[in-house]
Amino acid sequence: MFFKRLIYTLDRIKGKDPAAHGRLFILFFYPGVHALIAHRFAHWFYRRGFFCMAELISKLSRFLTNIEIHPGAEIGWGLFIDHGSGVVIGQTAVIKNDCTIYHGVTLGANKESFNGKRHPTLENNVTVGCGAKILGAFTVGENSKVAAGAVVLEAVPKNSVVAGVPAKVVKRF
């Protein structure tokens, strides 16, 4: 399962990034892939209650990649974290399949929590532009795009583009 998932992710990245030369190139040189591999291990320990081990892996990964993924975050298949620097993904964030996240993105908490959930959920095939901040326990609907630099404070419907501070829907498709 681990390898199937890894190959799937490498192929998704190859399909999305014109600068990618192949699976091995991506595996060796893309910090987003390294952070995801580390997260699989950290999440495995986290789910079994080995919180210190999970945190150790997560922090080591952050040191090496500059991408911070909390061990509790749930990440689906095919996530492409492009460039990676400064990405923060919070504890109760959920990222479904085939999403793309650029550098400087935060999936963070805001003032409120709902049944313990404080961070956003990205549905399938969501793109989050560089520097965007998505803050709170709401959902970004499938296929939607969050423009670079946006600050999103409320739910985003599916098939939309949101932009600005605070972010508003600027396009539906």
Ligand X SMILES: CC(C)(COP(=O)(O)OP(=O)(O)OC[C@H]1O[C@@H](n2cnc3c(N)ncnc32)[C@H](O)[C@@H]1OP(=O)(O)O)[C@@H](O)C(=O)NCCC(=O)NCCS
Peptide bond into 120 cis (omega under 30): no
Residue 24 token pair: 């091995």
Residue 166: CB atoms within 10 A of its CB come to: 12
Neighbouring C-beta atoms of residue 140, cutoff 10 Å: 27
Among residues 32, 84, 129, 136, the one that binds ligand X under rule CB under 6 A: 129
Distance separating alpha carbons of residues 67 and 71, to the nearest angstrom? 12
**Residue closer to ligand X, measured from CB, 57 or 134:** 134
The residues in 40-99 that bind ligand X, with binding defined as CB under 6 A, are 83
Among 57, 144, 145, 156, binds ligand X (CB under 6 A): 145
Q: Which is nearer to ligand X, 45 or 102 (CB)?
A: 102
Of all residues in the shown chain, the one whose CB is closest to ligand X is 129
* Residue 172 interacts with ligand X (CB under 6 A): yes or no: no
Q: Does 161 bind ligand X (CB under 6 A)?
A: yes
